[in-house]
Amino acid sequence: MRIDGRCPLSVGSLPSFKETGSRLLPFSLSAVPGTQRDWLLHLLSLDDEPPHTCRSTDVENLRRSMQMFAQIDVQFGGNQALEALAAYVTQDVVPLLRSSRTEKVEPELFSAAAEIYLQLGWMTYDIGADGLAQRYLTQGLHLAHRSDRAGLVVASHLLSALGQIAFDSDRLTESLNFARTGLHTAQHTDSPRATTRAHLVAARALSALADGKGAATEMSAAEAAADRTGEDPEWDCFIDGGYLTSQMAGCFRVLNDPGRSLHFSQLSMETGSPSGRQAAANTVYLATKPGFGSVTWREPAPVPSRPPKWRRA
């Protein structure tokens, strides 16, 4: 809809009724019949309503929304829902962060908001906006800090995500430091997936640093963590057998071990999701000419002596 054929009319551009009420009405409120007058007075009072108080139900809605966006991200990639998530953060998450809340609700609110910012950062990274993605992830880390122990799991994931971005930008020492900080954070939780992810980011960084022995140690630790049972949030369910073996395939590819890279890529295709970013990564690994790699690995890592639980099931 356009006004005088030039500028589009948007809800956000409209002034409040309080600002324009007297100018728009060509009559006095005192002359309006009772029912209409009461309604107009009600409109005038809308801007004076007290601020929203965040409750536990609002936090649960945040977590359900996070789960929905995470599922879309895993299956179709972050670019498919980034615009919707950014609008959700602006219109719903930020107002909740500015609202009043009880001491009991506050840690859970900041923890849930940190999860949303983790998802927003990862989706933004999918479209190649590395700097903006790091900004969102860092904001999420600040929110996790304000949530005390309730935010330790998401804080570990945020640190691992920052490590992954640093790795892809060839800032390998920084990537390793992020991974180790994420691992230290995960050790204060009962989250096997957060631990697994941190070990794998460290393994990727060590592989690129030509530390084959260190990478092998981290991969073995990641498998051991994946074998454990614990308490993990629903949104990190993408960290499964397919994710683990795909990341290991990436390590072996960088370490110039095409045989093991091919083995773990095929294993990931068999155990992981048939669609999404992990399947795309596996397709790249399988299509890569054997022998391609960025470094020469002089000390091969041992193949695990027994398959983890997810592979034995």
What confidence score (pLDDT) does residue 176 get? 97
Q: Is-above-0.85 flag for pTM?
A: no
Report phi then psi at 108, rounded to 5: -70, -35
Q: Supply the DSSP symbol for 90.
A: I
Q: What is the spatial distance between Cα 37 and Cα 293, in angstroms, rounded to a whole number? A: 77
What confidence score (pLDDT) does residue 70 get? 86
Q: Which positions ≥6 away from 266 have C-beta within 8 Å?
A: 286
Q: Which positions ≥6 away from 57 have C-beta within 8 Å?
A: none
Q: What is the mean pLDDT of each run of 10 residues along the chain (313 residues)?
A: 40 42 45 62 59 87 90 76 91 91 91 95 89 94 90 96 94 96 95 96 96 96 94 88 90 91 83 55 53 40 42 35
What confidence score (pLDDT) does residue 75 get? 76
C-alpha 303: how far from chain center: 31
What confidence score (pLDDT) does residue 71 get? 84
What confidence score (pLDDT) does residue 305 get? 41
What is the distance in angstroms between the CA of the first residue and the CA of the last residue of the chain? 58
69 SS3 class: helix
* Beta partners for residue 8, in sequence order: 2
What confidence score (pLDDT) does residue 291 get? 44
What confidence score (pLDDT) does residue 148 get? 81
* Sign of the torsion formed by the C-alpha atoms of 124, 143, 170 and 206: negative
